[in-house]
Amino acid sequence: MALILHVETSARNCSVALSQDGQLLFNKVDTAGSSHSVKLGLFVDEAMKVAESMGKKLDAVAVSSGPGSYTGLRIGVSLVKGVCYALGIPLISVPTLDLLADEVRRTRNLSSEALICPLVDARRMEVYTALYNADCTMLHPVSAVIVDETTFEKELENHLVWFIGDGAEKCSTIICSENAIFDGQIVPLAESMVPMAERLYKEQKFEDVAYFEPFYLKDFVATVSKKLLIPAAPVK
């Protein structure tokens, strides 16, 4: 009967859940955006107090490992590694796109021929994506794609394709096909991690806490707001 803490910070929402043997005991979500550094620690403390009130100790911590927000992933993984170190418990990595695909498979009525295409918003018209069949077997690996009218054209010719995630809405204005279903309600959440994390725990598929890093996919590029730039001194 594993007691697992689940942390999801790969996208806009900050969420934490606690489960035992697949049953949800605690769930907290903040949808304000850009609140991971403020809310995450508070949510984890609340979850730990729930476990303490039941006289139980954590068996593992699961974290959504990306791709997604560079800052969100860094904050989430840093915190869970600290918890794992402190308690001497294993770390479970749940790939974000796998998580989304599994959620649509479990909660929507998919035909056996349908394809699943998670879309994680990567700003402008770029998304992090992969392609799965209805059984969540990955058909095309994770990649960063700039979406235009021809993106996924071949897949849409012969298959119903479910586009899910926080990048689905913006892609719905560009991808035009009767075979395209856009479901932006399915986004990465800690409570959705429970089935995958339980399976990985039973299979003893743990990460090396010391060396584990999120799957950023792309290098972080820092930018400076034009409002913060100091105007150049006039040439005399």
Question: How high is the pLDDT of residue 233?
Answer: 54
CATH superfamily of 97-183: ATPase, nucleotide binding domain (3.30.420.40)
- CATH top class, domain 3-95+188-202: alpha beta
Residue 48's contacts (CB-CB under 8 Å, 6 or more residues apart) are 5, 58
- Return d(Cα 197, Cα 99) in angstroms, integer: 10
Q: What is the pTM of this model?
A: 0.90
Residue numbers of the chain with a pLDDT score lower than 50: 220-228
Domain map (residue ranges) of the chain: 3-95+188-202, 97-183
Asked if residues 8 and 15 have their Cβ atoms less than 8 Å apart, the reply is yes
In sequence order, what are the beta bridge partners of 127? 121, 145
The count of other CB atoms within 10 Å of the CB of residue 211 is: 6
Question: How high is the pLDDT of residue 34?
Answer: 76
Question: How high is the pLDDT of residue 57?
Answer: 95
Element (H, E) at 182: strand 180-183
Q: Do the domains 3-95+188-202 and 97-183 sit in the same CATH topology, yes or no?
A: yes
